[in-house]
Amino acid sequence: MMLRRFCCFSASTSSFPSYPLSFSSNTKKKPLVFLGSPQVSTAVLDALLNASASPQSSFEVSAIVTQPPSRRDRGRKLMPSPIAQYALDRNFPSDLIFTPERAAEDAFLSDLRALQPELCITAAYGNILPSKFLNIPPLGTVNIHPSLLPQYRGAAPVQRALQDGVKETGVSLAFTVRALDAGPVIACERLEVDDQIKAPDLLALLFSEGVVCCITFVQKT
């Protein structure tokens, strides 16, 4: 597969009045909440944590939201999600890793409000985000979606794209709204696809490229 770097940001943010962007010289880091669950999204969290550790970074990861522990493997042992385990392995504070059954839970939303996040980033989180959640971060919630939106909205976009035999796909950075993958697209990156690539490998590549666009956006916001 040949990667064509084409990280294209929207030319006009004024068309998104519901999502104000602030280009401030304030040196205080913006609190950001990351939401993700499967192994493939650990690359996104890793990049965000590494970028936030830089003294020049404009943001910090203040909390992580992921799916609750589930029973896996032969022993059916209750295990944390890959994102939760990765965060713990990186010594992220366990009390700042939230695992609600539903993102609409009042206790969870109360804890989230207390953190006063300015922005939320999602990558394969796996839970529906209600309006009560989306109304909390003043800069909105941004999703890394592995397709060139509006193509292949919803679940399994990579698998569907490969089944259709597409020669080009990509990853999109878009604001989250109540309708599925229907928010304004902030940026996209296009990739040419050969016939040999497998869905898991392409998905991992798209997320690793998508977080680059995401960090660029966050640092400018």
Cα gap 198→101, rounded to integer Å: 31
Lowest mean pLDDT among 13-17, 53-57, 71-75, 132-136: 13-17
Structure tokens at 33: 């909440």
Asked if the model's pLDDT at residue 49 lies above 90, the reply is yes
Mean per-residue pLDDT, 213-220:
94
Structure confidence at residue 108 as a pLDDT band (50, 70, 90): very high
Q: Are strands 30-36 and 59-65 parallel, antiparallel or unpaired?
A: parallel
How high is the pLDDT of residue 195? 86
Average pLDDT, rounded, for the chain:
89
For residues 87 and 128, what is the distance between their CA atoms, to the nearest angstrom?
Answer: 22
pLDDT in tens, 172-190: 999 999 999 999 999 999 9
Of the candidates 196, 167, 201, 173, the residue with the CA atom closest to the CA atom of residue 186: 173
In the chain the domains, ranked by start, together with CATH numbers, are: 30-220 (3.40.50.170)
Helix residue ranges per DSSP H, the chain = 42-52, 82-89, 106-115, 131-134, 157-163, 199-220
Amino acid, single-letter form, for residue 158 = V
The whole-number average pLDDT for the span 142-156 is 97
Q: What separation in angstroms does the CA of 71 have from each of 30, 78, 88, 188?
A: 35, 4, 18, 36
Query: What is the rounded CA–CA span in Å between residue 19 and residue 151?
Result: 23
73 falls in which pLDDT band (50, 70, 90)?
A: confident
pLDDT at position 4: 52
pTM as predicted? 0.88
